[in-house]
Structures are given as C-alpha cells and as structure tokens.
Amino acid sequence: MAINAAKAVLKPGKTALFICDVQERFSKAIFQFDKMVSNSSKLVDALKILKIPMLVTEQNPKALGKIVSQLDVTGAKGPFAKTQFSMYTPEVQQELSTLCCGEPPESIILIGIEAHVCVENTAIDLKKNGFEVHTVADCCSSRTVEDMTLALERMKQFGCQITTSENVIFKLMVDAKHSEFKTIQNLIKKPSDFIHSTPKSKI
C-alpha cells in the first residue's frame, strides 16, 4: 500500500491541539493517569511556546470534575462541556472553523481520555470531515491497557498518525535554528514515561 508521507507532516500555522476530557474524576480510574498527565503537560507547555492553538473539552463536568490543574490550558478555547462521546460537537465545530488565525487547521494533534471512547470517536469525526489526525500515544489512556492498545490500532487502521509527544514537538519546530529551540530542549530533557503496567481500579 502506498504511503502518503505528506499526511505525516505538521505545519506551524496549520495545526491545532485537541485536549479531550483530562478531568479530575478520572484520576483514580485511568490506567497510568499520572504518567499520561505528565507527558501531556510537557506537550501542552511546548505547544504553547510554539503558539499552537488549543481546544479543550470536559465530559459531563458536573459529574466528572474540571480539567486537571497540572495542564496549563491558559489561552485555549474552552473548556467546552459535552455529553456526547466525541469532541466534535456543534460548538467545537464552530470554533474549529477559525481556530488557526481565522481558518480551520489542516491537522489536529489529539490527546486525552478515554482512548477507546471519546478520543477514538473524535478521531473518526475529524477524519470523516477532512482533517489529518495525529493521536499522541503517550498522552492518551483508558481504564484498561487492552482498550487503550486496541483503540490506537484501530485509529491507525482508519488513517490516523499514531505518534508521540516528542515526535510532534520536533515536527513543529522543523529546525534546530528555531528561535525557541533551547527553551523546548529544556522541556524535553527527560523522555516521556511510556504507559504500561497494571490497570487501575474502575471509576
């Protein structure tokens, strides 16, 4: 099968970050939640430096709480409350149309929980509507490792780029001559903690 390498590119000015439902109530239920949040925080901080627009949702926040304080989403669009199992709500669609300097992005970097529910359904909706999706494996999780792993496999099968936080950061920097290279380099000195081991308890 021919591979279109252009789909793997992330262009500054044409890329946005979607942060899906990384909420307080999930902290004791989601598999390797602390590692996922630590990796996500590094990615968010780096993409803020690189001026990548961000959009945040919360699943039923009255029941599941607000986005965790470890993620500095200052300046992001949202958080948008939702009950459907996809970020692609009418409210989000409206924001998406102008998210990159008045225009829609070409590519969406997608992180959050749960990988097999809201993350996967968001990826499906975005792909159906013409966006390239880069799902960040070290910044996604589910309650079980099986659900997380199979969700990433399915997303790859229907055309998502399955990537890592560090890969995303370097794709957007493009060149070591980038004005923020030294700042970003300090953020990524410690490699991501990859998500593995025994799942946590149920919600």
Residues with a catalytic annotation lie at: 21, 82, 118
Tell me if 55 sits within 8 A of 78, measured CB to CB. Answer: yes
Question: Measured between alpha carbons, how far is 85 from 119 in angstroms, rounded to an integer?
Answer: 8
Coil, helix or strand at residue 151: helix
Dihedrals φ, ψ of 61, to 5°?
-60, -25
Question: Rounded to 5 degrees, what angle do the CA atoms 180, 169, 124 make?
Answer: 145
Q: Which of 145, 167, 163, 144 is nearest to 155 (CA)?
A: 163
CA distances from 13 to 30, 62, 170 (A): 33, 34, 15
